Amino acid sequence: MIPYTGHPLIDVGLATLAAFHDKPDPSTLTEKELDQVADFLETHYLQEPMTSFLTVAFPNSGFTQPAFAKNPKKRKTYAEKVLRAYKASVPTLSTKCVFTGLPAVGIALDVKDELTPGRAYRQHIPLVTGEDVINFMPYGDSGLPISGIALLALQALPLGCAKISGKLLAVHSNDPEVMYECARWFLDYNRKGLITARMALQSGGKAKMPEFPRK
């Protein structure tokens, strides 16, 4: 596994992965522990309230795309690709991940296998451009090459953030302990909120992920 990279979104995601197992240092995580996080994310990201919550970070991803709502198989296929690309069995490329320096994954990160292998876009990485936007991309290639562990960290990112006014607040710091403690605090709150929301939905009501208290 890898240590913190200095990139805010990746680092907060790594801190969230670490907090899931009460391990302040993400470089000590094992593949089995990452499997447990991926299992948790797959279970909850494929259904409400998370499918609505994730639109803030991953617009039009396989988790949030309305067309997939009636096709659970496609949504599950997407989850398998983006949540488990870190596994040793997944092929890699000679191209390096822009965040970690590790080999980029050698698979297309979409259900139909139409995207360029190893390239991630707005549906995978918050705040970047879409598939057909090549402005400012090296050599005119759209998307960013990404490794499996960086991809998983980004998918875990929303759970390590505070939901405030419908947006996500991520806390990044040069002090790894501060960053880890904030991610752990937000993760605990979100996991409790997720349980409450799921219970409300199972009772026939409507529920969203709760806002983080401001006081």
The predicted structure's pLDDT at residue 138: 65
pLDDT tens-digit series, residues 103-144? 999 999 999 999 999 999 999 999 888 787 666 666 777 889
The predicted structure's pLDDT at residue 208: 84
Q: Please identify every stretch of the chain with a pLDDT value under 50, giving residue numbers as ranges.
A: none
Its pTM stands at 0.93
First-to-final CA distance of the chain: 36
Q: What b/e readout covers 36-52, taking b as 16+ CB neighbours within 10 angstroms?
A: ebbebbbebbbebbbbe
SS3 58: coil
The predicted structure's pLDDT at residue 184: 97
Phi and psi torsions of 29, nearest 5°: -70, 145
The predicted structure's pLDDT at residue 62: 93
